Amino acid sequence: MSVIAIAKANIIIQEYGISSPDEIELEVIAFDRGLIIQEKELTGCEGRLVNNKTNGLIIVKKSIRESGKKRFIIAHEIGHFELQKGKNNINLCEESSFINWNKNGPQENEANVFASEMLFPKNIFLEFCKGKYFSKDLIIDLADNFECSLSATALRYADIGNIPIAVIFSQNKQIKWYRCHKDFPFQFVDLRIPVNSFSFALDYYNRKDIPDDPQEIISDAWFTKDFRFKSQHKLFEQNIPFSSYNAVLSLVWEI
Tell me what pLDDT residue 58 has.
96
* pLDDT band with cut points at 50, 70 and 90 for residue 1: low
Task: Kindly calculate the radius of gyration of the chain based on its CA atoms and give it in whole angstroms.
Answer: 19
CA atoms of 64 and 197, how far apart (whole Å): 32
Tell me what pLDDT residue 44 has.
85
Instruction: Spell out the residues 6+ positions from residue 233 whose beta carbon is closer than 8 angstroms to its own.
Output: 185, 218, 219, 223
CA atoms of 152 and 154, how far apart (whole Å): 6
Q: What percent of the chain has pLDDT over 70?
A: 95
Tell me what pLDDT residue 106 has.
82
Interval 126-139 mean pLDDT: 98
Confidence check: pLDDT of 91 > 80: no
CA dihedral angle for residue 150, residue 175, residue 73, residue 56, rounded to 10 degrees: 170
Interval 205-227 mean pLDDT: 98
- 43: exposed, middle or buried (C-beta count within 10 Å: 0-12, 13-18, 19+)? exposed
Instruction: Spell out the residues 6+ positions from residue 16 whose beta carbon is closer than 8 angstroms to its own.
Output: 23, 29
CA atoms of 3 and 187, how far apart (whole Å): 22
Tell me the per-residue pLDDT of 229-239, one tens digit each, with 9 for 90 and over. 999 999 999 99
Tell me what pLDDT residue 100 has.
57
Interval 143-163 mean pLDDT: 97
Tell me what pLDDT residue 99 has.
57
* pLDDT band with cut points at 50, 70 and 90 for residue 175: very high
Tell me what pLDDT residue 84 has.
87
Tell me the per-residue pLDDT of 22-68, one tens digit each, with 9 for 90 and over. 999 999 999 999 999 999 998 888 898 999 988 999 999 999 999 99
Interval 224-253 mean pLDDT: 97
- Tell me the fold of 3-121: Arc Repressor Mutant, subunit A (1.10.10)
User: Residue 91: which of 63, 131, 49 has the closest Cα?
Assistant: 49
Interval 212-223 mean pLDDT: 99
* pLDDT band with cut points at 50, 70 and 90 for residue 97: low
- The highest-confidence range among 44-48, 107-111, 155-159, by mean pLDDT, is 155-159
Tell how strand 35-40 and strand 56-61 pair up: parallel
Interval 232-247 mean pLDDT: 97
